[in-house]
Amino acid sequence: MITPLPDESLILETDRLRLLPFSPADADIAHRLLEDPEVMRYVGDPITAQEVEDHMANATRRGAGGRIGIWCVIRKDTGEKIGDCVLTPLPIESDQVDWDQLTPDSYPSDEIEVGYLLVPAAWGQGFATELCARLLRFAFEETTLPRITAVTDPDNANSQHVLQKCGLRSTGPRRAYAEDNCSGFEITREEWVARFGNAA
Ligand SMILES: CC(C)(COP(=O)(O)OP(=O)(O)OC[C@H]1O[C@@H](n2cnc3c(N)ncnc32)[C@H](O)[C@@H]1OP(=O)(O)O)[C@@H](O)C(=O)NCCC(=O)NCCS
> pLDDT per residue over 3-41, tens digit each?
999 999 999 999 999 999 999 999 999 999 999 999 999
Q: Residue 118: CB within 6 Å of ligand 1?
A: yes
For ligand 1, pick from 76, 123, 127 the residue to mutate: most ligand atoms within 8 Å of CB.
123
Report how far ligand 1's centroid is from the alpha carbon of 162 (Å): 6
Position 1 scores a pLDDT of 83
Sequence ranges of the domains in the chain: 7-196
Q: How far apart are CA 38 and CA 35, in angstroms?
A: 9
Q: Residue 42: CB within 6 Å of ligand 1?
A: yes
pLDDT digits (tens, 9 = 90+) for 143-191: 999 999 999 999 999 999 999 999 999 999 999 999 999 999 999 999 9
Q: Residue 126: CB within 6 Å of ligand 1?
A: yes
Q: Which residues contact 8 (CB under 8 A, 6 or more apart)?
A: none
Q: How far apart are CA 154 and CA 184, in angstroms?
A: 9
- Give the number of other CB atoms < 10 A from CB of residue 165: 13
Give the distance, in angstroms, between the CA of residue 15 and the centroid of all CA atoms in the same chain.
Answer: 19
Report how far ligand 1's centroid is from the alpha carbon of 91 (Å): 25
Q: Is the pLDDT of residue 199 over 80?
A: no
What value does the mean pLDDT of the chain take? 97
Q: Residue 138: CB within 6 Å of ligand 1?
A: no
- Tell me which residue of 84, 91, 172, 82 sits closest to 132, measured CA to CA: 84
- Tell me which residue of 69, 139, 55, 78 sits closest to 104, measured CA to CA: 69
Residue 160 DSSP SS3:
helix
pTM, entire model: 0.97
Rg over alpha carbons for the chain, rounded to the nearest Å, is: 16
Superfamily name and number for 7-196: Gcn5-related N-acetyltransferase (GNAT) (3.40.630.30)
Contact 111, 147 (CB under 8 A): yes
